[in-house]
């Protein structure tokens, strides 16, 4: 963890020397890290997609063989191995955690007297946003991936419908999480959230195109 944090601190210092803006340097570092771990992230998305497909397939099997317990058990067993293989990819998420914690440590230990043109209303990136603009932006960023599922083209039939309770909880938790957090950390979370949103949109477009070609 300290090794990764040391590398990120050096990278942040180099980028700051080029940009002259610590906020810009934080955004660039975040994007670089997200691009580096993109293969793990995409593997996780493919695994989650397989799990969704498996869930739909199992529901159809249960409905088809609901009056034939022996055949139902046989079908469930035959799909169990495939399901476990697809779940293995979900563990790649754990490999990203050391990098996330190292980034948090890096931004938390940065100089105490730097501002940024990205957030002109804040005089010190190590302080929280008293105007709560950063928390509001982050809350919207966290909500966006769920909202795009309401767009017909991106809609995923196996995804749980977004309800008012989920919307409120997402907004409240995201806002509270960054309300007293240093703005530097908020910039990281917002940049990471926007990148994840774009990655998710690209992933959905890829699957839509793939399914369209398969039908043709």
Res. 30: pLDDT tops 80? yes
Cα–Cα distance for residue pair 99/4, rounded to 1 Å = 7
pLDDT, position 202: 84
pLDDT, position 105: 73
Alpha helices in the chain (DSSP H): 2-19, 22-36, 38-64, 69-88, 92-108, 133-147, 164-179, 183-215
| Residues 6 or more apart whose Cβ sits within 8 Å of residue 178 | 129, 134, 135, 138, 185, 186, 189
* pLDDT confidence tier of residue 10, bands split at 50, 70 and 90: confident
Res. 1: pLDDT tops 80? no
* pLDDT confidence tier of residue 44, bands split at 50, 70 and 90: confident
Residue matched to tokens 């529901």: 59
pLDDT, position 59: 72
**pLDDT of 122-181, one tens digit each?**
888 888 899 999 999 999 998 887 777 777 766 655 454 556 777 788 888 888 888 888
User: Which whole number is the average pLDDT over 61-72?
Assistant: 69
Using alpha carbons, select from 28, 35, 42 the residue that is nearest to residue 191.
Answer: 28
Q: How would you class 178 by CB atoms within 10 Å of its CB: exposed for 0-12, middle for 13-18, buried for 19 or more?
A: buried
pLDDT, position 119: 92
- Of residues 22 and 56, more confidently modeled: 22
- At residue 160, the 3 state secondary structure works out as coil
- Of residues 121 and 213, more confidently modeled: 121
* pLDDT confidence tier of residue 212, bands split at 50, 70 and 90: low
Q: For 213, what's the count of Cα atoms within 13 Å in the CB-facing half-sphere?
A: 6
User: Which whole number is the average pLDDT over 70-89?
Assistant: 59
Cα–Cα distance for residue pair 12/131, rounded to 1 Å = 26
- Note whether 145 and 200 are within 8 A (CB): yes
User: Which whole number is the average pLDDT over 108-126?
Assistant: 80
**Sign of the torsion angle spanned by Cα atoms 206, 209, 212, 213:** negative
Using alpha carbons, select from 17, 40, 11, 23 the residue that is nearest to residue 196.
Answer: 40
């Amino acid at each position: 963890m300290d090794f990764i944090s040391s590398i990120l601190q050096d990278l942040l210092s180099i980028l700051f020397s080029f940009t002259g803006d610590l906020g810009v340097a934080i955004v660039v570092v975040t994007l670089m890290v997200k691009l580096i771990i993109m293969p793990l992230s995409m593997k996780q998305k493919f695994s989650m997609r397989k799990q969704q497909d498996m869930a739909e397939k199992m529901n159809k099997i249960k409905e088809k063989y609901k009056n034939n317990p022996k055949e139902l058990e046989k079908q469930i067993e035959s799909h169990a191995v495939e399901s476990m293989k697809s779940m293995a990819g979900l563990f790649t998420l754990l490999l990203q955690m050391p990098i996330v914690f190292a980034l948090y440590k890096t931004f938390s230990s940065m100089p105490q007297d730097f501002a940024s043109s990205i957030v002109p209303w804040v005089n010190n990136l190590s302080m929280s946003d008293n105007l709560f603009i950063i928390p509001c932006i982050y809350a919207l960023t966290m909500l966006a991936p769920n909202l795009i599922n309401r767009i017909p083209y991106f809609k995923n039939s196996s995804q749980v419908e977004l309800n008012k309770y989920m919307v409120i909880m997402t907004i409240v938790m995201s806002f509270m999480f960054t309300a007293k957090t240093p703005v530097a950390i908020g910039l990281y979370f917002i940049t990471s959230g926007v990148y994840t949103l774009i990655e998710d949109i690209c992933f959905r477009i890829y699957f839509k195109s793939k399914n369209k070609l398969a039908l043709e």
